[in-house]
């Protein structure tokens, strides 16, 4: 076969990339398709033999049930607040720690990194009882903060490690300029490193948000009612002993996914800016 021209190769590459992209979309979304379809089925058609894919008519009764009877929007509000504050805290504390570890010189660098990692090594089940006890002693039961604090702590290891690796890739001469006129590590962190770190912060932020959003056991035991319970706990405490209302559950899951999608789409722009800015800058 004759060697392809540069342009043809580029075209082939692009086509391949798009095919792969399509495969990825199918891969990621097919189970979600089942959830989505089930949520718009009229009650009673959720599970059938043989499998019914398309509902006989589209019904939003499940969504209506969740929103009006279960007051799901209040729970969503709680989830959003808890996850957002957790993410902000994780990014703030995490990036500070990651910056210190990756770009400042001090003796306990590796030790710090390992210590932070240790947090994520224990199986979750044994952490619940002691943490519940602590939160109760602090009087934070059934409050946002009572859930935010454990969520932040357990999301920190991934964030710190990811950001430390990311920061370590940035060129080291960035600080040298600052050192000449009065060195303030905090200023360097704030003015130089952070703006360049959009992709890293985005990834770390999304992971922190999702880890808080999808956390169940702490949220269940620390909160008691609609004032502080998260969307996931609401879905899990729907009425049902044996017979689960799949319609409501899937409607709740779809409603839960929406804020995440919105956040991702909104922050995309920022990430793209960060990517292109980085390319130009260095």
Partner 1 sequence: MATKMEMTISALVIIAIIVSASTLWYGMTVVSDLSKLTDSVADLAGSVADLTSSVATLATSVAEFKTTTAEDLAAIGDDLAAIEDRVALIEDRLKPKIEIVFAFNPAVEEAILAIEDMVEETYPDIDFVWRAMPWSTDAQHDSYVVWLTAEDPKPDIIAIDVIWPGEFAEAEWIEPLDNYMTQELRDTFIPSTLESFTFNGKLWAVPFFVGTPGLYYRSDILEDFGFDPPETYAELVTQAKTILADPEYEDMYGFTWQGAKYEGLVCSWLEFHTGFGAKVFDENWNVVVNSTEGVEALQFMVDLIYTEQISPEAVTTWMEEDARVEFTEGKAIFHRNWPYVPAIADDPAKSKIVGKWGLVPNPHAPGYESAATLGGWALAINAFSEHKEEAWKVIELIASYDGMKEFTIRYGEAPPLDALYEDADILAKYPHMALLRDILDGTTPRPMHPKYPEISDILQEEIHAALTRIKTPKQALDSAASRLETLLAG
Partner 2 sequence: MKIKLKETWYAYLFLIPTFIGIATFAFFPIASSFWWSLHELRYRIKWTGMPFVGLANYVWAFTTPDIWGSLGYTLYFVAVSVTLEFLIGLGMALAMFHTFRLRGILRAVVIIPWAVPAIIQASMWKWMFHPDAGVISDILMRIGLISRPVNFLGEPILAMHSVILADVWKTSSFMAIMLFAGLASIPQDIYDSAKVDGARMWFRFRHITLPLMFPIILVALLFRTMDAFRVFDLVYGLTGGGPGTSTEVLSTFSYKFYFSYARFGQGSTLAIVIFLIILIISALYIRNLQKSLRFRR
DSSP alpha helices (H): ranges in 141-245? 144-169, 173-180, 185-187, 198-213, 217-222, 231-236
Pick from 119, 174, 178, 220: which binds partner 1 (CB under 8 A)? 220
Residue 48 touches partner 1, criterion: CB under 8 A: yes
Q: Which of 192, 164, 182 is nearest to 93 (CA)?
A: 164
Residues between 124 and 143 with contacts to partner 2, criterion CB under 8 A: 124-127, 129-131, 134
Query: Smallest distance, Å, CB 2 to partner 2?
Result: 17
The three state secondary structure string of 118-137 is HHHHCCHHHHHHHHHHHHHH
Return the residues of window 38-57 that contact partner 2 according to CB under 8 A.
47-51, 53
Cis peptide before 247 (omega within 30 of 0): no
Q: Which member of 80, 81, 192, 210 binds partner 2 (CB under 8 A)?
A: 210
The nearer residue to partner 1, 215 or 274, going by C-beta atoms, is 215
Q: Is residue 194 within 8 Å of 220, Cβ to Cβ? A: no
Q: Are 136 and 101 in contact (CB under 8 A)?
A: no
Q: Tell me if 126 contacts partner 1 by CB under 8 A.
A: no
Residue 182 in the binding site for partner 1 (CB under 8 A): yes
**Binding residues for partner 1 (CB under 8 A):** 42-45, 47-49, 128-129, 132-133, 136, 139-140, 143-145, 182, 184, 186, 217, 220-221, 224-225, 227, 233, 236-244
């Amino acid at each position: 076969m004759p060697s392809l021209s540069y342009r043809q190769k580029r075209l082939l590459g692009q086509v391949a990339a798009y095919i792969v992209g399509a495969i990825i979309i199918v891969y990621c979304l097919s189970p979600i398709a089942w959830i989505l379809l089930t949520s718009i089925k009229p009650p009673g058609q959720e599970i059938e033999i043989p499998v019914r894919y398309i509902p006989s008519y589209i019904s939003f009764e499940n969504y209506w049930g969740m929103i009006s009877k279960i007051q799901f929007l209040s729970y969503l509000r709680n989830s959003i607040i808890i996850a957002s504050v957790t993410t902000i805290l994780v990014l703030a504390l995490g990036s500070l720690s990651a910056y210190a570890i990756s770009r400042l010189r001090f003796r306990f660098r590796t030790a710090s990194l390992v210590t932070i990692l240790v947090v994520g090594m224990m199986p979750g089940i044994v952490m619940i009882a002691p943490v519940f006890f602590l939160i109760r002693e602090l009087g934070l039961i059934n409050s946002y903060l009572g859930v935010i604090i454990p969520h932040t702590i357990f999301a920190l290891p991934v964030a710190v490690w990811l950001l430390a690796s990311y920061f370590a890739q940035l060129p080291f001469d960035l600080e040298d300029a600052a050192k000449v006129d009065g060195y303030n590590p905090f200023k360097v962190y704030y003015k130089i490193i952070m703006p360049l770190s959009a992709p890293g912060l985005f990834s770390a932020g999304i992971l922190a948000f999702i880890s808080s959003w999808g956390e169940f056991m702490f949220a269940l035991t620390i909160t008691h009612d609609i004032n502080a319970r998260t969307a996931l706990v609401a879905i899990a405490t729907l009425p049902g002993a044996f017979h689960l209302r799949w319609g409501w559950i899937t409607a709740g899951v779809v409603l839960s996914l929406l804020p995440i999608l919105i956040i991702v789409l909104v922050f995309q722009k920022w990430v793209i800016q960060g990517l292109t800015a980085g390319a130009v800058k260095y």
